A and B are shown apart, each in its own frame.
Chain A
Amino acid sequence: MKQLAIETKGLKKRFGKQVVLDGVDLSVPSGIIYALLGPNGAGKTTLINILSTLTAADAGEARVAGYDVAAEKTKVKMSISLTGQFAAVDEMLTGEENVRMICRLSGLSPSESKTRTAELLQRFELQSAAGKRVKSYSGGMRRRLDLAVSLVVDRPVLFLDEPTTGLDTISRQTLWKIILQLKERGITVFLTTQYLEEADQLADTISVIDGGRIVATGTPAELKARVGEEVIELRDRNEALLRTVSTSGTIADVRQALSELAPLLPPDARVSLRKPSMDDVFLALTSQPRLEESIS
């Protein structure tokens, strides 16, 4: 069996009366892209904060790269890189100064830092802005700089907290490409996202988190299969969506679904079939009573 990059058992965390994590069990194999998908306030950032040693859990265990996040903090820190939700860069410094500062803090000598900084800025297409203060950077540039800084030295596990929130489509796709390339380098990427498409496109394994619990885990295909093979969409004449129903896609199943729905809908409603999207998965998993067992 491959070594697990991240493993948690029964992680719990509350802030005051609010329960943020309510018993989270995860196991993330090395070398994959793992997406934690959930709405705002589901506990994604808290989980990353615990895994990256920023916050202590109230109960439960967590190991990253084989080390306990509470008892072996320094070893965990030697194994991870974190790109937080808010770009972790210094606004008053230039891009170049930011990267060089982290090079020095990572233990590179001044001359090594200089070379490595130049290389990172070039790879992330930031050379032309290298001498400008980060304050003047666009959202996409900040994110690229943030990632560049996270890759100063090789760390086996990279945490990305909502890496593309607030980015335009092009910046988002650029980042996706970079993230996929990180996996080729053998880095385990643990990312959180609110975007279903992002998890679908990038992740080898997705866990859906809602209300501080993991409600489902699987590959994108497995999760989609969970809501059925085909989704019936019913729309009125103005193309407004009336209803969606998951089915197995067989004649018998579709016929039965339609005959049950027919009396409830106008007779001129239109029917179409499509493959389930991650949205369907998400709605099915987070609005229904919790499904706790994992399907992977």
Chain B
Amino acid sequence: MNLSSRSAPASASFLVANAVFIGRSIRLSLRNVEALLMAVMLPVMLMLLFTYVFGGALDPSGNYVNYVVPGIILLCAGFGSSSTAVDVSMDMTNGIIDRFRTMPIHSMGVVTGHVAASLARNLLATAIVIGVAFLVGFRPNAGLTEWLAALGVIVLFILAFTWLFAAIGLVAGSPSAASGYGFALLFLPYLSSAFVQTETMPGWLQGVANHQPITPVIETIRGLLTGTPIGDQAWLAVGWCALLIAVAIAWCGISFRRRAGRR
């Protein structure tokens, strides 16, 4: 064979490996047309559904759109990041992971790549939610600082959920199992102050709704965008997200190593 010889250079650095994996995942996201379409359509449909179908019943004054926008952002972000579980699981059950693992590189970057792509997809979905919200009457009173702060909280939330879904993808035996386990997380937004105030729930459920991570995140975003009181919810939101991210990354690291050669 006339293949020229190419001696091995120092292998790709941590940064280059991560950049390559992020590029790969974004490319894969763009090619998964059905999933991308869903990620764009879902925010539009949910926004319209909650404003025009449920909105009148929940708040006859017509202000429900101002209340519900943060909830829909989170619902879409949860849904959008859930596909990370499937993407990661697909990679782990496919031969390509063995190639990455036998190269002298930071192979966990495969997972980081999917997380970064999920962040990009979900920020797009968030932009669509906000765009549609404006069209159907959303009137926030936030200044630039508030918008940036809200964006920061949304990014933290997306990362927390995505890393959790990535961990689920790593421990699930197959892509369909990953999709099944991930489903449970998608119910969390409904059991929070996303769509109705928690005071309207039965007492035992209020306990759950007030003490799960979604409620402080929602209250913080809502407060930043529409001026409702935030109180200590902001710290709770950031704390919850940071904790979830730390736990999920550690979980990913452990299960990634444990999956070694077990397909």
Chain B residues near A56 (CB-CB < 8 A): 260
The answer to whether B28 touches A92, judged by C-beta atoms less than 8 angstroms apart, is yes
The answer to whether A87 touches B95, judged by C-beta atoms less than 8 angstroms apart, is yes
The answer to whether B99 touches A102, judged by C-beta atoms less than 8 angstroms apart, is yes
| Residue in chain B with minimal CB distance to A135 | B31
Complex Cα spacing A154 to B260, Å: 25
In B11-46, which residues have CB < 8 Å from any A CB? 11-12, 16-17, 20, 24, 27-28, 31-32
Known: A54-B260, A56-B260, A78-B8. A181 touches B1 (CB 8 A): yes
Contact of B12 among A77, A106, A155 (CB under 8 A): A106
Chain A residues near B146 (CB-CB < 8 A): none
**Stretch in A116-124, A199-207, A245-253, A266-274 with 4+ CB within 8 Å of B:** A116-124
**Stretch in B102-110, B149-157, B206-214 with 4+ CB within 8 Å of A:** B102-110
Q: How many whole Å from B26's CB to the nearest CB in chain A?
A: 12
Q: How many whole Å from A145's CB to the nearest CB in chain B?
A: 12
The answer to whether A93 touches B3, judged by C-beta atoms less than 8 angstroms apart, is no
Residue interface mask A86-105, B partner, CB < 8 A = 1: 11111111000100011011
In A175-190, which residues have CB < 8 Å from any B CB? 178, 181-182, 184-185
The answer to whether A120 touches B3, judged by C-beta atoms less than 8 angstroms apart, is yes
The answer to whether A77 touches B95, judged by C-beta atoms less than 8 angstroms apart, is no
| Residue in chain B with minimal CB distance to A49 | B261
Residue interface mask A50-92, B partner, CB < 8 A = 1: 1011111000000000000000001001101110111111111
Chain A residues near B105 (CB-CB < 8 A): 105
The answer to whether A86 touches B95, judged by C-beta atoms less than 8 angstroms apart, is yes
Q: Count the B residues whose beta carbon is within 8 Å of the partner chain — how many?
A: 35
Chain B residues near A185 (CB-CB < 8 A): 1, 3, 5
Answer yes or no: A258 CB below 8 A from chain B CBs: no
Answer yes or no: A231 CB below 8 A from chain B CBs: no
Known: A55-B261, A93-B24. A182 touches B102 (CB 8 A): no
Complex Cα spacing A54 to B258, Å: 10
Q: How many whole Å from B128's CB to the nearest CB in chain A?
A: 24
Chain B residues near A49 (CB-CB < 8 A): 98, 261
Answer yes or no: A151 CB below 8 A from chain B CBs: yes
The answer to whether B12 touches A104, judged by C-beta atoms less than 8 angstroms apart, is yes
Q: A56, A108, A120, A133 — which one has the most chain B CB atoms within 10 A of its CB?
A: A108
Complex Cα spacing A191 to B3, Å: 21
Chain A residues near B2 (CB-CB < 8 A): 123
The answer to whether A105 touches B103, judged by C-beta atoms less than 8 angstroms apart, is yes
Contact of B17 among A105, A119, A120, A181 (CB under 8 A): A105
Complex Cα spacing A246 to B9, Å: 53
Complex Cα spacing A184 to B1, Å: 9
Contact of B102 among A54, A85, A86, A108 (CB under 8 A): A54
Chain A residues near B103 (CB-CB < 8 A): 77, 102, 105-106
Chain A residues near B12 (CB-CB < 8 A): 104-107
The answer to whether A151 touches B3, judged by C-beta atoms less than 8 angstroms apart, is yes
Complex Cα spacing A120 to B6, Å: 11
Contact of A101 among B10, B20, B95 (CB under 8 A): B20
Complex Cα spacing A154 to B5, Å: 7
Answer yes or no: B200 CB below 8 A from chain A CBs: no
Q: A120, A133, A153 — which one has the most chain B CB atoms within 10 A of its CB?
A: A153
Complex Cα spacing A181 to B7, Å: 18
Q: How many whole Å from B167's CB to the nearest CB in chain A?
A: 21
Chain A residues near B262 (CB-CB < 8 A): 55
The answer to whether B95 touches A88, judged by C-beta atoms less than 8 angstroms apart, is yes
Complex Cα spacing A105 to B99, Å: 11
Complex Cα spacing A153 to B27, Å: 25
The answer to whether A106 touches B260, judged by C-beta atoms less than 8 angstroms apart, is no
Answer yes or no: A152 CB below 8 A from chain B CBs: yes
Q: For the A-B complex with A78-B11, A105-B103, A153-B9 known, give 6 more contacts whose Cβ atoms are closer than 8 Å.
A: A54-B98, A54-B261, A77-B102, A92-B32, A107-B9, A182-B1
Q: What are 24 A-B pairs at a CB distance below 8 A?
A: A49-B98, A52-B102, A53-B101, A55-B261, A84-B98, A84-B99, A88-B97, A91-B94, A92-B27, A92-B31, A105-B11, A105-B16, A106-B11, A106-B12, A106-B103, A116-B6, A119-B3, A119-B4, A153-B6, A154-B8, A155-B8, A178-B1, A184-B1, A185-B3
Q: Which 6 pairs of residues, A with B, have the shortest CB-CB distance?
A: A54-B261, A55-B261, A86-B95, A181-B1, A88-B95, A88-B99
